[in-house]
Amino acid sequence: MVKVEVVENLNELEDYERLILNSKIGMFYHSWNFLRFLDHLLDAKPIVIKYYEKNRLVGILPMFLKFNRKYGNILNSLPFYGSHGGVVISSNYKDSYRIMINLLNYLKNEIIDVYDIIASTLITTPFETNTSIYKELLQPNFLDYRIGQIVRLPSKYDENLLLYSFESRCRRAIRKAIKNNVRVEIMKNWNQNIIEKLYKLHLEHMRQVNGLPKPSEFFNNLNKFFEINRDFQIYYAIHDEEIIGVLLLFYYKSFIEYYVPVTDAKNRSLNPMNLIVFRAMLNAIKNGFKLWNFGGTWKNQKGVYAFKKGFRAKDQLYSYFVNIYNDISELLTLTPNEIQKEYKWFYVLPFDRLGVKNYEET
């Protein structure tokens, strides 16, 4: 017996977390706590498609819907800085192809019309092996990619073993930080001063790169949805009694998510982030974590890419499947800043397509 259920109240997600924990590709971004966090941060509606067979939950598709009366409604799986989404299937279930097809067909045939959606974006994980199904079934108008950079951590806790697994330039950076008396601490209890320093440095960095900063609510509400020292940790580097670098990490399953790294620009030459990552990786190994996810990198972010590559991060591409269901001619007249204002924290379409009258991709 097959049953499909659409849930809009995240408190009604029975068995959801168990499926994510038992799946091969389920990540922190799919977790119930992260969905609740997004629900708190975003002015958007959560929608989760649950797929049952024989009264057993075997597949899910989490999404958020952004309403916009002027230009049309947008669906993301998932929004907020390219969070990974897409279909997640129980690892105990062998017929994953069929479940994926059924969930994606339900999205196309039921969800799109019911919620009057003009465009949707599904962002896969770097571990997704069934991307051909997305492409064949969705036939996306746009197909975008990001470079995921992931480190498989050594199983043995050994400082030299880890250090010499890095590229030589990364080792030199770590040694320079140590030589200059940079030390690394962990925020073991909630400390508003450190949170404010993290936010301040984040704002400064995003202004420098002309990026969209995360809201202050993101940082100030972390401990309301996640448990410190279990779900997240904040490392910080100190030099001459001043905090010169901060790193927010999330922990889920065997993964560590490198989420918000910030460095004081005037102390960048001391390489505090290299030392923070080294210390955090050592602690992760000690606690049995296996994969360090540096997250997505754009092709033009050569400096960021090289930094992550210095830790021997391996490239794993992931995809953005973008479908257009209605007339978006008005959207195409907007600037990137106007798109971000109308659909804050949501992916709408590649910005290089703005101003293009014929948006159909060949």
Render 7-63 in DSSP notation, one character per residue.
E--GGG-TTHHHHHHHSSS--GGGSHHHHHHHHHHSSSEEEEEEEEETTEEEEEEEE
pLDDT band at 95 (very low <50, low <70, confident <90, very high): confident
Q: Which domain holds residue 330?
A: 2-145+319-353
**Quick one: pLDDT at residue 361?**
44
**Quick one: pLDDT at residue 233?**
98
**Quick one: pLDDT at residue 362?**
34
**Beta strand pairing status for 183-186 and 142-152?**
unpaired
135 and 36 within one domain: yes
**Quick one: pLDDT at residue 356?**
57
**Quick one: pLDDT at residue 93?**
73
**Quick one: pLDDT at residue 226?**
98
Q: Return the structure tokens found at 290.
A: 């296996």
166 and 136 within one domain: no
160 and 122 within one domain: no
Does some domain include residue 93?
yes
Does some domain include residue 277?
yes
112 and 30 within one domain: yes
Does some domain include residue 303?
no
Distances (CA, A) of 89 to 10, 22, 121, 200, 349: 19, 9, 19, 39, 27
Choosing from 246, 272, 289, the residue where a domain stops is 289
Question: Mind listing the pLDDT tens digit for each residue in 49-70?
Answer: 999 998 899 999 999 999 999 9
175 and 127 within one domain: no
Q: Which residue has the higher pLDDT, 115 or 297?
A: 115
Q: Which residue has the higher pLDDT, 82 or 331?
A: 331
Q: Backbone phi, then psi, for 314, in 5-degree steps?
A: -95, 140
178 and 160 within one domain: yes
Q: Which residue has the higher pLDDT, 202 or 211?
A: 202
Contacting residues for 294 by C-beta, under 8 A, at least 6 apart: 148, 149, 150, 151, 258, 308, 311, 313
252 and 326 within one domain: no
Nearest to 190 by CA among 149, 216, 153, 227: 227
Q: Is the pLDDT of residue 337 over 70?
A: yes
100 and 25 within one domain: yes
What CATH number is attached to the domain comprising 219?
Answer: 3.40.630.30
What mean pLDDT is predicted for residues 213-230?
Answer: 97
Does some domain include residue 278?
yes
Does some domain include residue 298?
no
Q: Which residue has the higher pLDDT, 291 or 91?
A: 291
pTM of the model: 0.94
**Quick one: pLDDT at residue 225?**
97
Contacting residues for 255 by C-beta, under 8 A, at least 6 apart: 27, 28, 289, 290, 291, 292, 293
**Quick one: pLDDT at residue 353?**
79
Does some domain include residue 295?
no
219 and 189 within one domain: yes
Q: Is the pLDDT of residue 183 over 70?
A: yes
Mean pLDDT of all residues belonging to the chain: 94
In the chain, how many domains are there?
2
What mean pLDDT is predicted for residues 23-28?
Answer: 94
What mean pLDDT is predicted for residues 204-208?
Answer: 93
158 and 113 within one domain: no
Distances (CA, A) of 222 to 31, 45, 130, 155, 245: 15, 20, 33, 30, 19
